[in-house]
Amino acid sequence: MTTAPATAPARSAAPAIVTVPARKPRRPAGLLAISLLVAALLAVPLVFLLIESGRAGYATVASQVFRSLTATLLWNTVRLTVAVTAACAVIGTGAAWLVERTDLPGRRLWAVLLVIPLAIPDFVVSFGWASLFTWMQGFRGAFIVMTLAVYPLVYLPVAASLRSADPGQEEVARSLGVGRVATFVRITLGQARGAILGGCLLVALVLLAEFGAFEMLSYQTFTTEIFTNLGLPTEVPAACALSLILVAISLVVLAGEGLLRGGGRVARSGPMTPRITLPLRLGAGRVPALLGVLVLIGLALGVPIGASIYWIFQGGVPSVSDSVSVSMADAAWHTALYGAGAAALDTLLALPVAVLAIRHSGKARHFLERSTYLVLAMPGVVIALALTYFSEQYLSGAGYQTAPLLVLCYTIMFFPLALVGVKAAIARAPADLDDVARSLGHRKLAAFGRITLRLAAPGLVAAFCLVFLEVVTELTATLILVPTGVQTLATQFWQYQSSLSYAQAAPFALVMIAVAAVPTIVLGRFFDRTRQAQG
């Protein structure tokens, strides 16, 4: 006769359930408006490309697309992208596993050295190889050079994910009777899956956008062909058509990565207490493993740096002529100026989009944020080309090859990079803290400035450095848009090496490596810390 004698969770259920309320504050109209403007700015190149192609007419574009050259370019581009991406996946993952999970001797040092090739521009790596070995040409040369230049794009995220993943899972697998190799395949690779895919995506996008290295190695891809067509006003439809194909391939890569990633999420159960686990003992495999890492570092780091030093001393007395040192100072100044301008602009523009994405969830806002990643599918040469034609069509050539247009081009190109960094930074500052500051009598913007900006500052600096670094080592768009009479480090280097003045080019190569290496190491540490702090 009793009804269900339910009991409230009284003292027996002491561990409180922390409620996480679905917080949807008022429509952030201002933020939304600014973010829309940013998204519109980023869409300019793509929209313009479509308009220009439409102006040329379907027949013209089709005649450009469906010809034998396109097939050759497609074959060259795709086979190199696939081959290098696969090689980078294997080398990057293998190196990361050796450094993070085994007792490889000297692995702390290798962890730093393995990342540095990221700081060496691809065209400097190819300069190192091509200037020393004449057989480094065509597919073979492009494959070796690009693999050595970009494998850190896989190494870095995989190493970070292995570091934060729970080694206990591997121990459990072993205790369940799964062997060492099977454990690596079933557990370790599974943990690093997202990082490997993300790294491969970056590698593929870099390959699609690369110009300098391929030009030097006489390897023809879409990007080099677009660049060649640029100089000829009659070839505008051709350049547009090729750009559209290139963007389409990039979109396929982006979508493919999204599909492959799917729902595979690396979860970690239990509290995030740091665990000390013994690294895997390599035993007899130590020597070959160590040799492998040393050879990799030697080829990726030693050859470009060694070649540069070799060419400086080639003239006998290492005397840097006055003209070189003057042009160097001038080029460095302009590089720094453009880099700082684009970096500051990107960090600033990414801020509202990041705040919107992190603090105000919603489908439309999510879409807005994701749309900015479309820029990733736009190689620098395409963005530069679109901006060039844009200034020709609508500004009657004003702005073309001026500093503002160049900085704008950098800003569009590297916005997604800045956004990733700024989002990570904003995520470190809980919105709750702003609320508290407001309840203590501070206005909205004051609270944001004193709390969120202050807490996000290290991440904002990191985002700034990341963009700056990219600008310093950018060649393709710079060659197209650099103001008349001005040289940056990259263009000056390019000019010298094009005229086979290797002794003059080499110092520029070394300066670019030095300028880029420091931020790379700092950034590596920052993202490492962020990852550990966030879990």
Partner 1 sequence: MKQLAVTGLHKAFGSHPVLTGVDLDVPAGSFTAILGPSGSGKTTLLRLLAGFDQADAGTISLGDRVVDRPGLHLPPERRQLGYVPQEGALFPHLTITANVGFGLRGKDRRGPRVAELLESVGLAGLGGRYPHQLSGGQQQRVALARALAIQPEVVLLDEPFASLDAHMRASVRADVQQICKAAGTTAILVTHDQDEALSMADSIAVLRDGKIVQYAAPQEIYTRPADPDLARFVGDANLLDGLIADVSAGTRPAGPAAGTGASEQPAAVDTILGRLPVEPAAAAGLLPGPVTVLIRPEQLELGPLGGPTDEPGCLAGRVVACEYYGHDAVVRVQPDGGAAGQQIIVRTTGGPQLPPGSAVSVRARGAVLAWTRS
Residue from 25, 30, 177, 283 in contact with partner 1 (CB under 8 A): 25
Minimum distance, C-beta of residue 463 to partner 1, in the bound complex (Å)? 18
Q: Which is nearer to partner 1, 12 or 484 (CB)?
A: 12
> What is the sign, positive or negative, of the torsion defined by CA atoms of 195, 201, 207, 212?
negative
Interacting stretch for partner 1, rule CB under 8 A, among 3-11, 77-85, 131-139, 249-257? 3-11
Q: What CA–CA distances, in Å, run from 221 to 41, 138, 246, 375, 379?
A: 28, 11, 10, 20, 12
Please identify which residue in 270, 439, 484, 535 interacts with partner 1, judged by CB under 8 A: 439
Question: What is the per-residue binding string for partner 1 in 307-346, x denoting contact by CB under 8 A?
Answer: ----------------------------------------
Q: Three-class SS string for 334-382?
A: HHHHHHHHHHHHHHHHHHHHHHHHHHCCCHHHHHHHHHHHHHHHCCHHH
Position among 432, 499, 500, 518 found at the interface with partner 1 (CB under 8 A) = 432
Whether 227 contacts 47, CB under 8 Å: no
**In the bound complex, what is the minimum distance in angstroms from residue 365's beta carbon to partner 1?**
14
Of 163, 261, 442, 531, which one interacts with partner 1 (CB under 8 A)? 442
Q: Is the dihedral of CA 136, 140, 141, 147 positive or negative?
A: negative
* Separation of alpha carbons 477 and 413, rounded Å: 9
Q: What phi, psi does 102 have (nearest 5°)?
A: -120, 175
Q: Does the footprint of partner 1 cover residue 531 (CB under 8 A)?
A: no
Looking at 441, 484, 485, 535, which residue binds partner 1 (CB under 8 A)?
Answer: 441
- Give the shortest CB-24-to-partner 1 separation in angstroms: 5
Stretch that binds partner 1, among 18-26, 46-54, 240-248, 414-422 (CB under 8 A): 18-26
29 binds partner 1 (CB under 8 A): no
Assigned token pair, 176: 């369940």
Least separation in angstroms between residue 344's CB and partner 1 is: 23
Rounded to 5°, the CA angle 182-188-189 comes to 90
3-state SS string over 484-524?
Answer: CCCCCHHHHHHHHHHCCCHHHHHHHHHHHHHHHHHHHHHHH
Candidate list 7, 175, 269, 273; residue touching partner 1; CB under 8 A: 7
Q: Could you tell me the smallest distance in angstroms from the CB atom of residue 438 to partner 1?
A: 4
Residue 430, interface with partner 1 (CB under 8 A)? Answer: yes
Q: What number of CA atoms fall less than 13 Å from residue 374's CA on the CB side?
A: 19
Q: Which stretch binds partner 1 (CB under 8 A): 147-155, 264-272, 442-450, 492-500?
A: 442-450
Closest approach of partner 1 to the CB of residue 461, in Å = 14
Single out the segment in contact with partner 1 by CB under 8 A; choices: 60-68, 164-172, 383-391, 443-451.
443-451
C-beta of 462: minimal distance to partner 1 in Å? 16
Closer to partner 1 at the Cβ: 109 or 457? 457
Q: Which amino acid is at 511?
A: V
Min dist. Cβ of residue 138 to partner 1 (A) = 55
The yes or no reply on residue 11 touching partner 1 (CB under 8 A) is yes
19 lies in the site for partner 1, by CB under 8 A: yes
Answer whether 142's CB lies under 8 Å from 219's CB. yes
Site string for partner 1, 448-487 (x = CB under 8 A): ---x--xx--------------------------------
- Residue of 67, 79, 370, 443 that binds partner 1 (CB under 8 A): 443
Closest CA to 422 of 529, 360, 343: 343
Smallest gap from residue 25 Cβ to partner 1 (A): 6
How many other CB atoms sit within 10 Å of the CB of residue 51? 15
Measure the N-to-C terminal CA separation of the chain; round to a whole number of Å. 53
171: Cβ–Cβ under 8 A, 6 or more apart, which residues?
A: 277
* 273 binds partner 1 per the rule CB under 8 A: no
Question: Which of the stretches 15-23, 127-135, 271-279, 335-343 binds partner 1 when contact is defined by CB under 8 A?
Answer: 15-23
Q: At what angle do helices 189-209 and 236-261 cross, to 10 degrees?
A: 180
Nearest-10 crossing angle of helices 489-498, 502-534: 140
DSSP 167: T
Q: Which of 436, 500, 514, 518 binds partner 1 (CB under 8 A)?
A: 436
> Using only C-alpha atoms, what is the Rg of the chain?
25
The verdict on 4 binding partner 1 (CB under 8 A) reads yes
Q: Report residue 383 as tokens.
A: 């963005």
Region near partner 1 per CB under 8 A, out of 43-51, 257-265, 314-322, 429-437: 429-437
Q: What are the residues whose beta carbons fall under 8 Å from the beta carbon of 386, sequence distance 6 or more?
A: 44, 45, 46, 48, 49, 52, 243
Instruction: Give the binding range for partner 1 (CB under 8 A) out of 91-99, 240-248, 432-440, 492-500.
Output: 432-440
**Per rule CB under 8 A, is residue 444 in the interface with partner 1?**
yes
Q: How far is the CB of 454 from partner 1 (least distance, A)?
A: 6
Size of the site for partner 1 (CB under 8 A): 39
Rule CB under 8 A: choose which of 401, 435, 510, 522 binds partner 1.
435
Q: Is 465 strand, coil or helix?
A: helix
How far apart CA 349 and CA 37 sit, in angstroms, is 10
Tokens read off for 375: 């820029």
Residue 426 engages partner 1 in binding (rule: CB under 8 A): no
Tell me: does residue 445 bind partner 1 (CB under 8 A): no
Comparing CB distances to partner 1, the nearer of 22 and 181 is: 22
Residues making contact with partner 1 (CB under 8 A): 1-8, 10-12, 14, 16-19, 21-26, 430, 432-433, 435-444, 447, 451, 454-455
